Structure 1
C-alpha cells in the first residue's frame, strides 16, 4: 500500500482530534509507515454517549470490560487520545511483520513517545496497549470544567513534531531500497577498482615479459622494469617481438600477452 492509502484508513477517526494531537497522530502513521509498519487509528474523539456505551459493556451489557471510564472521564471524550491497531497483525504485540528484529508494536510505541504521546501500556492498573494520549497536563475534571490547552502548549507539540523529523536518520522504504542498491553498486565498483589497481601496478615482472624487459633495459629503452603495469609489460613485450630492442629470442607469447 502507498503512504496515501495507509493514511486514508485513519483519516475518519482522527478528524475530531484536538489541534496538535491530530497533527501528531498523522505524523505517527507516516513515521510507522516509513519504518515498514502500517497502522490504523481506530479511535480518536469519542462522544459521551459512546463512552457510556463502552463503559456498560461487561457491566450492564454483554461482553468483556474494555474501559474503566464513564462518559466524561476518558481523554477520548475531549479529542486528546487515540487507539491504534497493526494492519498486518492486529493486536499481536509480539509480531514482527517487517522482519527487522523488533516487534512492530513497540516500534509504534517508540515513535509515539518521540511525538509526546503517553502510552497506556505503561500504566500500572488497567493496562491499555493500543492507547496513546496527549493531555497537555490537564485532568479529565479540568476538561469537564471547560479548561483547554493553551496555544503555547499546542505550538510546543508542533515544534516537537518538526524537531524529531528524520531523527536517528530513519529512512523510508524507498530510501532503504535505494541505499541498498547504492551499497551493492559501491561494492561492485570497489572490486573493479581493486582489479584495475592490481593490473596498474604489478608486484613483479610477469614471467612472460621477463625477456622483453631485459632486452629493453639493455637497449636503454627503459631504466627499470619494476612496478610496471600490465599494459606496460604487454607493450614492451610486443615491441620486443617486433625487434625494437634487437633480435628477439624465440620465446613463445604466453596467455595474457
Structure 2
C-alpha cells in the first residue's frame, strides 16, 4: 500500500506554478481522497499558452479526439487556476480515468468520492460544464472570467482569503472528526479491557464456587446409588462430587435407572 507521502510525490511536478490557493486546495484534495481510500495523481496543473494551443489542435489539425474548446490564453490552466487528475492505481505507476471504478470497494465510485471532496474544498468541477464535459478537471476562478484574466486582472485579496478560509475550515472539520473517531476508539478499548477483567473475575469466582461445592467424601445416604451407577457402567468414579450431584444420582437410582437389565 502506498503511503500518503508517496502518493503526493507522484503529483509534485504538476503542482509547480499553480496559484498558491489552488495549490493548497490541490494538496488538500490529494490528502482527503487518500483518507477515503482513493489515490489520485494530478496530471495537469499550469499549462502554457503554447501547450494549450497544441491541445486545442488535437482533433482539429492534429490526430486525436477533441478534448478542449479553449485556445491558448482561454483556459484557467493558463493562469494556474485549474488542475486535472486521474485515479492512481495500486501499483503506483498506472492511472485510470474510469468514472465507474470502485477500487476501495465502499459502494461509492472512486471518481465520485474525489469530486465530492473537491467541491467541499471550493473547486468547480468540469463534469458540470454545459458544453464539453471535462470530468478530470477542477478549477478555482476567484470569480474571474477568462476575459478579465487575459486583461491582466488578478484575484483580489478578499477572494483569495475567502477561498483559503473554505479550505482551512473543511480540513479542520475533517481533522476534528478524525480526532473524535480516535477518542471513540480509545474509549472502546478501555471498555473492552474492563469487560475482559469482569469476565475473568466471574470465571475465577465460578471456579472457586465449583471447587468449594465439592464434598470431601461421598455421603453415606448416597453410597448405594453411587455403587449402583458404577455397577451399571454409567460412571467411572463418583468421588469429588457436589451435594447436588449426589442428590441427583440418588434420585436416578430410586427411579430404577441403574438396575441391571433395564434399558
TM-score normalised over the length of structure 2: 0.71
**Aligned-residue RMSD, C-alpha:** 3.5
Spell out, residue by residue over 1:215-249, the C-alpha distance to the aligned partner (whole angstroms, 9 max, x if none).
Answer: xxxxxxxxxxxxxx5256346436x63xxxxx983
Q: Secondary structure at the match of 2:71?
A: coil
- Report whether the alignment pairs 1:137 with 2:107: no
Residues 11-90 of structure 1 mapped to structure 2, 5 A cutoff? 11-88=12-89, 90=96
Q: 4+ runs of 1 displaced by more than 6 Å?
A: 181-188
- Report whether the alignment pairs 1:237 with 2:224: no
Residues 1-257 of structure 1 mapped to structure 2, 5 A cutoff? 1-88=2-89, 90-165=96-171, 167=173, 192=196, 195-196=199-200, 199=203, 229-230=205-206, 233-234=209-210, 236-237=212-213, 241=216, 249=219, 252-254=239-241
Unaligned residue ranges in structure 1 (runs of 5+): 201-228, 242-246
Cα separation, 1, equivalents of 2:137 and 2:202: 61
* Cα offset, 1:136, TM superposition: 0.5
Spell out, residue by residue over 1:38-80, the C-alpha distance to the aligned partner (whole angstroms, 9 max, x if none).
Answer: 1110111111111111111111112111100111111111110
For the pair shown, which has the larger CA radius of gyration, 1 or 2?
A: 2
Conservation of the 8 A alpha-carbon contact between 1:34 and 1:171: no
* Cα offset, 1:191, TM superposition: 7.0
* Cα offset, 1:151, TM superposition: 2.0
How many residues align? The count is: 219
Unaligned residue ranges in structure 2 (runs of 5+): 90-94, 223-238, 243-263
Cα separation, 2, equivalents of 1:76 and 1:87: 21
